[in-house]
Amino acid sequence: MSNATSDNETIVHRVSFLDRDSVNIPILKVLQADGTVYDNAVLPAIDEALAHRIYDTCVFTRVLDERMLGAQRQGRISFYMTCTGEEASIIGSTASLDDGDVILAQYREHAAIRYRGFTTEQFMNQLFSNEKDLGKGRQMPIHYGSAELNYQTISSPLATQIPQATGVGYSFKMQGKRNIAICYFGEGAASEGDFHAGLNMAAVLKSPTIFFCRNNGYAISTPTSEQFCGNGIASRGPGYGIHTIRVDGNDMLAVLAATQQARAYAVENHSPVLIEAMTYRLGAHSSSDDPSGYRSKDEEAKWQQHDPVKRFKLWMINKGWLTEKQDAEMYDKYRKEILAELKIAEKLPMSMLDTIIEDVYDTPTPRLKQQLTDLKKHLKKYPDSYPNSKGRL
């Protein structure tokens, strides 16, 4: 049809409007809180090795978040963000991908880059912005990136990664590759214009991209009830003509099942898929936030009951793939490893100041060189404005 409406048009003869609940969106659940699987639930493809890799990433992420939030409170790093409560959404989805698929994340998805192999040392170098940081210390902590691991560097302005992901997916299609892009974002970021641009463009151009929304209930202090009036983010997918699913984001097996099938669909049909994972940000928005000002302890306690890591752990124990003893040893191992790497990374110097003008142009422009000279003069005069700069100018 020329105006691109449905071929199965229903004709009515009295006025009837659609509203928020005209479409009932089911939510996929596989794993129950006690670690048992729902009757009739269809399991994703998962064996013991995959389950261990997933659980290992969960434990690492929990320990990293606990330790580095503590390091921020001690004044050792300037800023931190946790992924606590959202591990199943991030790890279950990343574990469904091919290593060649490109990840474009928002900022709360460090579990994804860890799953791909980002080392503890690399985490520490980024968090301490030292000379071994892959980003040369130019970014705030938590803005990880790795070309080797196909993980695009985080950028702070919300939602910019959404249309970029559409482009990455489209480029895979143009090259005839069987890879996809996956784009993570919060439900808050879905209020940006870039969300509309990215999803509409992906649908029209048929870009093999998974748009993975972590609906964790809040955009900093703004609850979802004050962000939008629609039925979550999933309701928007069919509006763009995008294959869509809503899933329990605290259920590792449901996220895995949904993303495995979403990826297969995206590759086979050269098409985007939207996944809305219903989850909860158990921690504060960032180290600069205090949630007690906008939500109750009761609400937080209710969500603690749905801890995704605990649920998956119980499933592993039920399968005979993990014991409480092994679990405790994993936590212990990562606590020691992270502390040891932290102590090394915090002592390393920052990058030489000259690197600040590298990497944009093949040869830095005369204006950039002049700015660098002026900056050095300024810093020599006011050394306190650039702490730890000894020998780096």
3-state secondary structure of 224: helix
DSSP H helices in the chain: 48-73, 87-94, 110-116, 120-127, 161-174, 193-205, 236-240, 252-269, 297-304, 308-319, 324-345, 366-381
Site size with ligand TPP, rule: CB under 6 A? 16
Going 81 to 85 to 89 to 95, the CA torsion angle's sign is: positive
Exactly one of 105, 124, 158, 309 binds ligand TPP (CB under 6 A); that residue is 158
Indicate the residue among 89 and 271 with the shorter CB distance to ligand TPP: 89
Work out how close the CB of 189 gets to ligand TPP at its nearest, in angstroms, rounded to a whole number.
4
CB atoms inside a 10 Å sphere around CB 87: 29
Residue nearest to ligand TPP (CB): 186
Q: Which of residues 330-359 bind ligand TPP (CB under 6 A)?
A: none
Exactly one of 20, 26, 147, 157 binds ligand TPP (CB under 6 A); that residue is 157
Indicate the residue among 114 and 285 with the shorter CB distance to ligand TPP: 285
Q: What is the dihedral of CA 219, 220, 225, 226, to 10 degrees?
A: -100
- Extract the tokens encoding 227: 């962000």
Work out how close the CB of 187 gets to ligand TPP at its nearest, in angstroms, rounded to a whole number.
5
Residue 211 is a binding residue for ligand TPP (CB under 6 A): no
Work out how close the CB of 185 gets to ligand TPP at its nearest, in angstroms, rounded to a whole number.
6
Exactly one of 143, 285, 306, 311 binds ligand TPP (CB under 6 A); that residue is 285
Work out how close the CB of 148 gets to ligand TPP at its nearest, in angstroms, rounded to a whole number.
26
Residue 156 is a binding residue for ligand TPP (CB under 6 A): yes
Provide the pairing of β-strand 218-219 with 222-223.
antiparallel
- Extract the tokens encoding 24: 């009932």
Work out how close the CB of 278 gets to ligand TPP at its nearest, in angstroms, rounded to a whole number.
13
3-state secondary structure of 109: coil
Exactly one of 80, 212, 218, 280 binds ligand TPP (CB under 6 A); that residue is 218
Residue 221 is a binding residue for ligand TPP (CB under 6 A): no
Distance CA(149)–CA(119), nearest Å, equals: 11
Distance CA(319)–CA(48), nearest Å, equals: 9
Indicate the residue among 79 and 321 with the shorter CB distance to ligand TPP: 79
Query: What proportions of the chain, in percent to the nearest 5, are helix, strand and coil?
Result: 45, 10, 45
Exactly one of 219, 233, 245, 247 binds ligand TPP (CB under 6 A); that residue is 219
Residue 187 is a binding residue for ligand TPP (CB under 6 A): yes
Tell me which residues touch ligand TPP (CB under 6 A).
Answer: 108, 156-158, 185-189, 214, 216, 218-220, 281, 285
